[in-house]
Structure formats: C-alpha cells, structure tokens
Amino acid sequence: MKEIVVKVNDMVGLHARTASLFSKKAAEFSSTIKVYGNNRVANGKSMLNLIALGIRQGMDIKITAEGDDDASSIEALYKLVINNFK
C-alpha cells in the first residue's frame, strides 16, 4: 500500500469538475484508491463520494492506493492534484 498527503490548491476545492477528473484518472488503475479528508473517507473512483468530502481550497487530503499499480496510481493522482487538475 502507498499513500501520500497533498494540499488541494484549486480555487473551489474538490468540486464537480475536479472530482470528475480525479475519479476518471483513478479509474485508469486497478488499485483500490481511497481519499481521506475533512474527517471522512471516499472511494477515489467515485465522483459523488469525492464531492461529499467537502474539500475546499487549502485543505490537505490523503490518497491511498493498494494493488498491483499502487505506486504509479499515487504518482499520477498526486501530479493531477498539485497541477490543479490540469
């Protein structure tokens, strides 16, 4: 299992557009991906679960991945978040 903590710097946080981009990227991997933030946990492959976390700009999230491609999935998702989902 791999994990990383990253700050969400997008102006509106983890909302519909960014959650959609995150979940689509997460779905490219076979690993189980979870996102922790705001005292909640979400399935990283579920846009609605991610939105329900209520993550705003400046908040930290922890991303975990467990599976055959955990290292590559963590790296890709980390890059997505630090590049403001671009």
pLDDT tens digits for range 19-77: 999 999 999 999 999 999 999 999 999 999 999 999 999 999 999 999 999 999 999 99
Task: Give the global pTM.
Answer: 0.96
**DSSP at 44:** T
Task: Cite the active site residues.
Answer: 15
CATH code, domain with 21 = 3.30.1340.10
CA gap 38, 54 in Å, rounded = 7
Q: Are strands 32-37 and 40-43 parallel, antiparallel or unpaired?
A: antiparallel
* Residue 66 lies in domain: 2-82
Tally of domains in the chain: 1
